[in-house]
Amino acid sequence: MPTQTLHPRDARHLLRWRPAHLLLALFLLAGGTAAWRMMETSRHFVEGGVQVETEGTKGTISGGELVLDLPVTVYNGTDSAIVTVNMWTEAFACPDEDSPRRACTRLHSSEQSIDMHVQPGSSGSESQQIRTGLPQTMAGDHVRVKRRLTGITSDVERAEQHQEGP
């Protein structure tokens, strides 16, 4: 059976070159990752609205103190830039994960004012960490964190506030 040989300048020689396979795989991986991120981000956008997510919020008791990790992600589908997000955070020590709130001890309550600059049609993330002491007695060592959105300020609202004065 006769074999076909390629001319030395034939571009198909590149397909036999292993580094070209590696470069092609890296190119496809980078393009696929970018496309995946765009699809993931686009499913969070609400046309004409803002979506705020707090996924990843957690509280732990470590070294005799309460440690709260408080991430916030903002998806801005409005025509204005988002400049501030306000969240109310409460942390409780409970006997176990399913305990009713009345069986828990309140460890922390505060409002976070998170300065962000999220342009229209984009998203942004910030994360804060709060460390605080613990009371003498607690209902348990399972930490439950509850967060509630209390306000969003756009660049338009901030400009109006500055025009009105103090």
**Would you list the DSSP string of 71-137?**
EEEEEE-SSS-EEEEEEEEEEEEESSTT--GGGSEEEEEEEEEEEEEE-TT-EEEEEEEEEEE--S-
Per-residue pLDDT band at 12 (split at 50, 70, 90): low
- Quote the pLDDT of residue 27: 78
Would you tell me how many other CB atoms lie within 10 Å of the CB of residue 94? 19
Residue range 98-146, pLDDT digits in tens: 999 999 999 999 999 999 999 998 889 999 999 999 998 988 889 999 9
Answer whether residue 23 shows pLDDT above 60.
yes
Q: Please check whether residue 100 is in contact with residue 150, taking contact to mean a CB–CB distance below 8 angstroms.
A: no
Residue range 32-77, pLDDT digits in tens: 777 766 666 666 667 788 999 999 999 999 888 999 999 999 999 8
- Quote the pLDDT of residue 81: 95
Would you tell me how many other CB atoms lie within 10 Å of the CB of residue 127? 12
Q: Please check whether residue 24 is in contact with residue 117, taking contact to mean a CB–CB distance below 8 angstroms.
A: no
Asked whether the CA dihedral 8, 12, 16, 20 is positive or negative, the reply is: positive
For 148, residues 6+ apart whose C-beta sits below 8 A from its C-beta are 87, 88
Q: Please check whether residue 58 is in contact with residue 100, taking contact to mean a CB–CB distance below 8 angstroms.
A: no
Answer whether residue 13 shows pLDDT above 60.
no
